[in-house]
Structure 1
């Protein structure tokens, strides 16, 4: 239960950090017509999970529950794209190129299709 509580707190901190950083980045160039804030959140989240995963590979550097709070909680709240990036990297790093490609294709296109289906479903249900 202690681990779950730490992950819960970390997720809240990550979500607030995402909102603040993405909003700040978007305000730097509001006329860009591109979601630069989200892009920067996703890229920095992937950079952070890669760095921290390598740095914390030795479990003696940080207790497991704090490592989970940081990687799963904070970075999970900041961006789930960091987890996607890490898992795809792990597949590539272990030579599972076909699975990595499948993960990329299914994740990107599957999510786009899911967004479309949810949007259209809401329009249908609401009569819009």
Structure 2
């Protein structure tokens, strides 16, 4: 059942991402990635709102977590997880892990990984 909930949420999240990105590109152009920017911001909001509601037992069932947090937000954007996990570390006063390793480290490692992937893709 968990797999179906994650899949259903992922389907909805991925399609929401596609629809919003396409809409933003048509309305605002492609000189700046407005769609991705909007999706990253709203995805962070949705995951944090859901987590706050879940912690207050409003949406505490594990099936909601699979559907919304893992499925929808995972299909919509993984940036939401990245920002929420950073926020969690900051709230736990784990500043070094949050800022140095996770926030900056993920950005730099991700950028370098993309550079290597791009390079390899053009070499072969």
Q: Counterpart of 1:82?
A: 80
Q: Counterpart of 1:22?
A: 21
Task: Write out the 4+ residue segments of structure 1 that deviate beyond 6 Å after TM superposition.
Answer: none
Q: Distance in 2 between matches of 1:88 and 1:77?
A: 19
Q: Which runs of 5+ in 2 are unaligned?
A: none
Distance 1:24 1:75, change over 3 A: same
Q: Counterpart of 1:109?
A: 108
Q: Counterpart of 2:46?
A: 48
Compute the TM-score of the two structures, normalised by the length of structure 2: 0.93
Q: Distance in 2 between matches of 1:62 and 1:108?
A: 32
Counting matched residue pairs gives: 123
State the 1:7 CA deviation: 0.4
State the 1:43 CA deviation: 0.4
Compute the TM-score of the two structures, normalised by the length of structure 1: 0.90
- Pairwise CA RMSD of aligned residues? 1.3
